[in-house]
Amino acid sequence: MEERKGFGSNFGFLMAAVGSAVGLGNIWGFPNKMGANGGFTFLIIYLILAAICGFIVMLGELAIGRKTGAGAIKAYKVLSKKFKWVGWLGVASAFFILSFYCALGGYCIKYVVLNFGNLINAGFGSNGLSGADVFGGFMTNQLEGVIFGLIFVAITMIIVMGGVGGGIEKVCSVGMPALFVMLVICIVRVLTLENAVDGLKYMFVPGWAVANGVIEEAPNLFSVISTAGGQMFFSLSIGMGAMITYGSYLNKKENLEKNALIIVIMDTLIALCAGLCVIPARFALDPTGKLGGPSLLFVTMQNVFDRMGSVGPIFGIIFYLLVVFAAISSSISLLETVVAHFVDKAQDEGKGDKRKSYSLITTIFVAILCVIVCLDGLGSNGVWVPFQHLFAPDAIPTFCDCWLDFFDCISEGIMMPLGGLLMTLMLGWETGPDLVKEESEQEGNKMKSFGYFKFCVKFITPLCMALILYGQLKDFFGGLFV
């Protein structure tokens, strides 16, 4: 049997794993959710959840992956009788996330091009239109949406075809440090704008958003916890098998515990840094602009660049390039989660490394879903969405108000927290947490946090995750079923 090729170095692994974690979720989700949910209070709750759930699931997944040396589907099959199907849940989540992630990644590429157009005063720039008009026009231009979406899908495929060491690791080892430098450049520019400090107050000062009318009322503690929990899952790329897959390519001599901790910390730090860039920019230059979701990225931020004067397009290009990098390093991990399974299977059956063919086949399916999301244009074009017809037009719940939300709710809202919950139940109660200890202590490493890990994985983490899942269901379905 051919040898399974993995990461060339621990740095490469870290950049790929942090790259998977750092993505659109960090840029538009974290800073806004923090501001709207009590600022510093949210941060503290997020950090506690990251410690008792995020770190535990991250370490658990890396260990499962490295122990079995296989992608999510085979890993669960090898380890468990009761939970052997959980890997499939992960692969299905990866598909659904990819559908809208690639569409949004395509939008980011479009915005790099748009700002370039503004820089050289070409017809493909904003042509004097406001951020909202440009975005509205783009959303209803189905052909353009599909073309950019497919460009993003194709880039993702090409990198994954290159393999883990050759494609993913190389791209992330350059892309992630570059992303960080671009982020710092943007932060420095933004924080020196007048009124930028209001953005900092929005993000960090508890109660500021309510006192200043940015949001109507403070959410209750339960909803803050479930928002923070949902954000954490998506942001850390856990609960669906991406980290199992990356872990399976890691050398046995590397320290799993330390790596898990670094990934969680880096992801949170970069989310905070992204916040230091986008939120103050909105308060300084587009005080009525939306604070989260696609509109924050594509309307509010474009208005910000339009109002920066002649340097605006340059910062626009840097900023959207940074977002493209963040999105690509995440989408390749999603695609790899699916492709790894088929490549492993082919190798087990002695058919050799069929990575290129399987990457292509998987990508075709992803492309189909992505095209649906692009054609829908965030609901602008009224493409039929499942279940939507069951509701009156003014009572459509979030889970089916457009294709993006539909795929997002199934994957991020249900499958990921459910996958995380099942994983901890398996580790805590079926295989036993010793599995993680043994794997972490390969080649003389010591697992310092074992007592803590054991207690969390058995009791605390599953309990928190059940709560998060309940909160997410309630949020998404708007009290429909729960």
Q: Per rule CB under 6 A, is residue 235 in the interface with ligand PHE? A: yes
**Total number of residues shown for the chain:** 482
Q: Per rule CB under 6 A, is residue 334 in the interface with ligand PHE? A: yes
Q: Per rule CB under 6 A, is residue 248 in the interface with ligand PHE? A: no
Draw the binding track, 185-224, toward ligand PHE (x: CB under 6 A; -: no contact): ----------------------------------------
Question: In whole angstroms, how close is the CB of 97 to ligand PHE at the nearest point?
Answer: 6
Q: How many CB atoms lie within 10 A of CB 241?
A: 38
Taking a C-beta distance cutoff of 8 angstroms, is the pair 284, 104 a contact?
no
Question: In whole angstroms, how close is the CB of 190 to ligand PHE at the nearest point?
Answer: 21
Report CA-CA distances (Å) from 181 to 104, 116, 228, 273, 318: 23, 20, 27, 11, 10
Q: Per rule CB under 6 A, is residue 32 in the interface with ligand PHE? A: no
State the Cα–Cα distance between residues 143 and 214, nearest whole angstrom: 36
Torsion sign (Cα): 96, 413, 237, 149: positive
Report the site for ligand PHE in 451-480 (rule: CB under 6 A).
none
Element (H, E) at 61: helix 55-68
The stretch among 21-29, 129-137, 220-228, 247-255 that binds ligand PHE (CB under 6 A) is 21-29
Considering beta carbons, is residue 99 or 118 the nearer one to ligand PHE? 99
Size of the site for ligand PHE (CB under 6 A): 15
Question: In whole angstroms, how close is the CB of 24 to ligand PHE at the nearest point?
Answer: 4
State the Cα–Cα distance between residues 93 and 246, nearest whole angstrom: 16
Q: Which of 240, 250, 278, 402 binds ligand PHE (CB under 6 A)?
A: 240
The stretch among 23-31, 51-59, 133-141, 306-314 that binds ligand PHE (CB under 6 A) is 23-31
How is 439-475 classified by DSSP, letter by letter?
HHTGGG---TTHHHHHHIIIIIHHHHHHHHHHHHHHH
Q: Which of 13, 111, 152, 234 binds ligand PHE (CB under 6 A)?
A: 234
Residue whose token pair is 């626009």? 316
With CB atoms as reference, the residue minimizing the distance to ligand PHE is: 23
State the Cα–Cα distance between residues 57 and 254, nearest whole angstrom: 18
Taking a C-beta distance cutoff of 8 angstroms, is the pair 297, 106 a contact?
no
Look at residues 42, 111, 141, 21 and name the one whose alpha carbon lies nearest to residue 322: 111
Give the SS3 label for residue 253. Answer: coil
Taking a C-beta distance cutoff of 8 angstroms, is the pair 344, 70 a contact?
yes
Considering beta carbons, is residue 139 or 240 the nearer one to ligand PHE? 240
Taking a C-beta distance cutoff of 8 angstroms, is the pair 289, 30 a contact?
no
Considering beta carbons, is residue 105 or 312 the nearer one to ligand PHE? 105
Q: Which of 97, 203, 340, 402 binds ligand PHE (CB under 6 A)?
A: 97
Report the site for ligand PHE in 112-151 (rule: CB under 6 A).
none
State the Cα–Cα distance between residues 219 and 45, nearest whole angstrom: 14
Considering beta carbons, is residue 327 or 427 the nearer one to ligand PHE? 327
Contacts of 6 (CB under 8 A, 6+ apart): 164, 165, 248, 249, 250, 251
Q: Per rule CB under 6 A, is residue 362 in the interface with ligand PHE? A: no
Q: Per rule CB under 6 A, is residue 176 in the interface with ligand PHE? A: no
The stretch among 235-243, 280-288, 305-313, 468-476 that binds ligand PHE (CB under 6 A) is 235-243
Considering beta carbons, is residue 237 or 303 the nearer one to ligand PHE? 237
Q: Which of 6, 12, 19, 25 binds ligand PHE (CB under 6 A)?
A: 25
Q: Per rule CB under 6 A, is residue 440 in the interface with ligand PHE? A: no
Q: Per rule CB under 6 A, is residue 100 in the interface with ligand PHE? A: no
Q: Per rule CB under 6 A, is residue 237 in the interface with ligand PHE? A: yes
The stretch among 16-24, 132-140, 191-199, 473-481 that binds ligand PHE (CB under 6 A) is 16-24
Report the site for ligand PHE in 313-332 (rule: CB under 6 A).
330
Question: In whole angstroms, how close is the CB of 443 to ligand PHE at the nearest point?
Answer: 28
Q: Per rule CB under 6 A, is residue 20 in the interface with ligand PHE? A: yes
Taking a C-beta distance cutoff of 8 angstroms, is the pair 388, 400 a contact?
yes
Q: What angle do CA 16, 343, 410 make, to 5 degrees?
A: 65
The stretch among 60-68, 165-173, 229-237, 378-386 that binds ligand PHE (CB under 6 A) is 229-237
Q: Which of 12, 17, 18, 26 binds ligand PHE (CB under 6 A)?
A: 26
Round to the nearest angstrom and report the end-to-end CA distance of the chain: 50
Question: In whole angstroms, how close is the CB of 226 to ligand PHE at the nearest point?
Answer: 17
Element (H, E) at 113: helix 86-119
Question: For 419, what's the count of Cα atoms within 13 Å in the CB-facing half-sphere?
Answer: 36
Q: Tell me which residues touch ligand PHE (CB under 6 A).
A: 20-21, 23-26, 97, 234-235, 237, 240, 242, 330, 333-334
